[in-house]
């Protein structure tokens, strides 16, 4: 079944039909979802949500755009959430020089501290990196050694993807692979083995074609898997089966 390794179901865009939508997942081929926090406020929300859905797990971490909310006290409270049930990863964390909401120094500081936390907790990391390829790689080489994880919403070169795969990381592939201007990601998918790919929505964002621009959800991963199958010349079923296996191994679920 489909394993959505990266979703944001606490987002307001799901307020109207969240429960109904989530309860229809399994009959529509979605087997597992990891609900990922981004802001400080969302950490507690995603951890609380997983109690209601047996197929859902949580990731706790602060997105680079939101690290301005972190200080010693809030970081300590965030760390306490890892003692709760079904928290399987640290994320999403990283660097975002596209939106550039926070200074690069502050982004790097909290990225490194959250990588170290993942090392202490022996949990995988979900990496967000946008227009920060070189700095992300440098920090990953120094501080993510021995960690498992996903380079989420991968947007860099196929050569760099291959390097992350050699370092033991998975490449997260979502709706962008179906876009007409998704050429770089299509090349990456062709280049790296299926054993190194995990599927993700990043919903409510990044809906695949033919729903580009609309609200995304985990059932639309079907279109992502179909495109990966086409690019690699394999069956849809093989993509679903192998990526589910990859994700289960990554999160130990
Ligand atoms: Ni995300």
Q: How many angstroms separate the Cα of 138 from the Cα of each of 141, 148, 155, 165, 206?
A: 5, 16, 17, 15, 27
Between the CA of 76 and the centroid of ligand 1 the distance, in Å, is 22
Please answer whether residues 202 and 7 qualify as being in contact, where contact means their C-beta atoms are separated by less than 8 angstroms.
yes
Residue 223: what pLDDT? 98
Between the CA of 122 and the centroid of ligand 1 the distance, in Å, is 21
Between the CA of 126 and the centroid of ligand 1 the distance, in Å, is 9
Residue 225: what pLDDT? 98
DSSP notation for 168-179: T-EEEE-GGGGS
Residue 1: what pLDDT? 98
Residue 139: what pLDDT? 98
Between the CA of 202 and the centroid of ligand 1 the distance, in Å, is 5
CATH code of the region 2-251: 3.20.20.140
DSSP notation for 73-116: HHHHHHHHGGGSTTEEEEEEEEEETTT--S-HHHHHHHHHHHHH
Between the CA of 145 and the centroid of ligand 1 the distance, in Å, is 23
Tokens at 21, concatenated? 């939508």
Can the peptide bond before residue 92 be classed as cis, meaning omega within 30 degrees of 0?
yes
Residue 210: what pLDDT? 97
Between the CA of 175 and the centroid of ligand 1 the distance, in Å, is 12
Between the CA of 8 and the centroid of ligand 1 the distance, in Å, is 7
Classify residue 103 by burial, with Cβ atoms within 10 Å: 0-12, 13-18, 19+.
exposed
Residue 206: what pLDDT? 97
Between the CA of 242 and the centroid of ligand 1 the distance, in Å, is 22
Between the CA of 95 and the centroid of ligand 1 the distance, in Å, is 12
Q: Which residues of the chain have pLDDT under 50?
A: none
Between the CA of 181 and the centroid of ligand 1 the distance, in Å, is 20
Q: For residues 182 and 186, give the distance between their C-alpha atoms in angstroms, rounded to a whole number.
A: 6
Residue 118: what pLDDT? 98
Between the CA of 166 and the centroid of ligand 1 the distance, in Å, is 23
Between the CA of 5 and the centroid of ligand 1 the distance, in Å, is 10
């Amino acid at each position: 079944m489909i394993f959505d390794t990266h979703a944001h179901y606490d987002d307001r865009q799901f307020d109207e039909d969240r429960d109904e939508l989530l309860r229809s997942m399994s009959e529509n081929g979605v087997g597992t979802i990891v609900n990922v926090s981004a802001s400080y406020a969302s950490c507690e929300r995603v951890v609380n949500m997983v109690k209601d859905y047996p197929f859902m797990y949580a990731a706790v971490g602060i997105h680079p755009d939101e690290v301005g909310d972190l200080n010693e006290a809030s970081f300590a409270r965030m760390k306490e959430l890892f003692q709760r049930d079904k928290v399987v990863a640290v994320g999403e964390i990283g660097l975002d020089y596209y939106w550039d909401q926070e200074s690069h120094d502050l982004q790097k500081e909290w990225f490194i501290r959250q990588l170290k936390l993942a090392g202490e907790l022996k949990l995988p990391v979900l990496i967000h990196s946008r227009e920060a390829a070189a700095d992300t790689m440098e920090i990953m080489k120094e501080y993510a050694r021995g960690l498992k994880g996903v380079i989420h919403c991968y947007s860099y070169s196929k050569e760099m993807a291959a390097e992350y795969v050699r370092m033991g990381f998975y490449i997260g592939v979502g709706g962008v692979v179906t876009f007409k201007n998704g050429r770089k990601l299509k090349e990456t998918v062709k280049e790296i083995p299926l054993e190194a790919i995990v599927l993700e929505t990043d919903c409510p964002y990044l809906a695949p074609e033919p729903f580009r621009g609309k609200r995304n959800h985990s059932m639309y991963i079907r279109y992502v898997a179909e495109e990966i199958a086409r690019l690699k010349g394999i069956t849809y079923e093989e993509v679903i089966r192998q990526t589910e296996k990859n994700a289960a191994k990554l999160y130990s679920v």
